[in-house]
């Protein structure tokens, strides 16, 4: 298989549209590791994947969970979506997603409306197996070390 690379830049809605396009290609698994999610259109695409029976795992940062506009609580109440939260004093600041372990989305692009319409950010998509493997290892490491959303919420109340 030949390697395909794509890059998109904001401010523009093209990165947002490309993220949604790639998410909609998921058939077996969706693993997302992002600092925050507050773009409702991206959230809706993630929910559609879960409702199609595609297992979704999300890693996010605790400090952004309660921000105005954060969609983490929407995703947490949806069946088929598991969420883990970084509860350290530091930030889990990654921004990447693995789609069926066939595609990688990464870059500075936050999954927010501000990223689409105001900020200078980027996303990079690739099907390069070596790059995907490196990000798989990082996701699995975080997934194994972070706190389940439900436990995080119990500790907050």
Find the catalytic residue in 64, 84, 94, 95.
95
Following DSSP, what letter does each residue of 36-63 receive, concatenated?
-B--HHHHHHHHHHHHTT--EEEEEEHH
Q: Is 95 noted as a catalytic residue in this protein?
A: yes
pLDDT of residue 1: 67
pLDDT of residue 110: 92
Q: Which residues of the chain have pLDDT under 50?
A: none
Angle between helix axes 40-51 and 14-24 (nearest 10 degrees) is: 10
Cα end-to-end distance, the chain, whole Å: 50
pLDDT of residue 107: 97
Nearest one of 151, 147, 5 to 86, comparing CA atoms: 147
Q: Is 13 noted as a catalytic residue in this protein?
A: no
pTM: predicted TM-score of the whole model, two decimal places: 0.94
Find the catalytic residue in 13, 18, 63, 93.
93
Distances 100 to 21, 49, 64, 103 between C-alpha atoms, Å: 14, 12, 26, 7
Q: Is 93 noted as a catalytic residue in this protein?
A: yes
Q: Which residue has the tokens 């969706």?
A: 30
Find the catalytic residue in 13, 17, 18, 100.
100
pLDDT of residue 157: 59
CATH value at residue 49: 3.30.870.10
pLDDT digits (tens, 9 = 90+) for 37-73: 999 999 999 999 999 999 999 999 988 787 888 999 8
Q: How many domains does the chain have?
A: 1
Range of 110's domain?
5-156
pLDDT of residue 85: 95
């Amino acid at each position: 298989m030949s390697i395909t690379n794509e890059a998109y830049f904001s401010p523009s809605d093209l990165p947002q549209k490309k993220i949604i396009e790639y998410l909609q290609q998921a058939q077996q698994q969706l693993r997302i590791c992002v600092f925050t999610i507050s773009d409702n259109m991206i959230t809706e695409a993630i929910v559609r994947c879960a409702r199609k029976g595609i297992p979704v795992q999300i890693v996010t940062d605790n400090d952004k969970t309660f921000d105005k506009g954060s969609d983490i609580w929407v995703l947490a109440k949806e069946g088929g979506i598991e969420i883990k939260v970084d509860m350290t004093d530091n930030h889990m600041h990654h921004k990447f997603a693995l789609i069926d372990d066939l595609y990688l989305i990464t870059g500075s692009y936050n999954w927010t409306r501000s990223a689409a319409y105001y900020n200078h950010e980027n996303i990079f998509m690739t099907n390069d197996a070596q790059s995907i493997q490196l990000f798989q290892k990082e996701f699995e490491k975080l997934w194994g070390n972070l706190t389940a959303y439900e436990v995080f919420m119990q500790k907050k109340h």
